[in-house]
Amino acid sequence: MNPVTIHYLNIFLGAGAIILQILSVIALALLFFRPRENKFLGFIDKHYLTLGFLVSLFSALFSLVYSEIIGFLPCVLCWYQRVFLFPLPFIFGSAIWHKDRKIVKYTLPLIAVGLVIAIYQNFFYYFGSGSSLPCDASGVSCYQQLISEFGGYISIPMLALSSFLGLLALVLVAHFYKKED
C-alpha cells in the first residue's frame, strides 16, 4: 500500500477508535450512574450481539490488514491480544445466528484478558521505558510507532485497547442493564 493510503486508513481507524472510546465511557457511566430508563443503553442492550460482532470483526480484520497487507508485523503482546480477539467474531456471529443472548459468560473472559494485556501494553508504550516490554525495540516491537495519529495518541496499542474497551462496555451493558417493566 502506498503511504498516503496508509495515512488515511490510520486517520479513519483513529477517529473510529476515539468515537468508540467516547461511546464506551458514556455507556459505562450511564450504566453505573444512570436513571432507570435510558434510550442509549436500551439500544445497546437490544443490539449488543450485532454491535459486538461488528466491533470484533472490524478489529480482527484491520489487525490482519496491518500485518498481512501493509506488512506491520505484530509484536508478542499484539499476538497475545489476537488470541483473545480472533474467536470473538465467531462467538458473536454464532449467537446472532442462533438468537442466543446469553454469551456473556463466554465472551467476558476473552475480553477481560485481552483488555488487561492491552492496558499493560499501553501503559508501557506511553509511560514506560523501551526495555520493559517483552516486545522491546530489538525485534518486532510496538515501540517502532508504526502508527502515530492525532498527536501520537492513536497507536496500534491504543487501537487494541479501544476495541477491547468497546467490547467490554457492550457486554457489561447487555448483562447488567435491566429495563423496568
3-class SS string, 95-138:
HHHHCCCCCHHHHHHHHHHHHHHHHHHHHHHHCCCCCCCCCCCC
Instruction: Return the pLDDT at 140.
Output: 57
Residue 91 covered by a domain: yes
Residue 61 covered by a domain: yes
Number of domains in the chain: 1
Residue 85 covered by a domain: yes
Residue 69 covered by a domain: yes
Which tens digits make up the pLDDT trace of 113-151? 999 999 998 888 787 765 555 665 555 566 666 777 777
Instruction: Return the pLDDT at 143.
Output: 64
Instruction: Return the pLDDT at 154.
Output: 84
Residue 140 covered by a domain: yes
What gap in Å lies between CA 171 and CA 103, rounded to an integer? 9
Residue 181 covered by a domain: no
Residue 58 covered by a domain: yes
Residue 105: half-sphere exposure toward Cβ, Cα within 13 Å: 2
Residue 132 covered by a domain: yes
Residue 119, SS3 per DSSP? helix
Residue numbers of the chain with a pLDDT score lower than 50 = 180-181
DSSP state of 51: H
Supply the range of the domain harboring residue 22. Answer: 3-176
| Single-letter code of the amino acid located at 154 | I
DSSP state of 128: S
Instruction: Return the pLDDT at 95.
Output: 95
Neighbouring CB atoms inside 10 A of 2's CB total 6
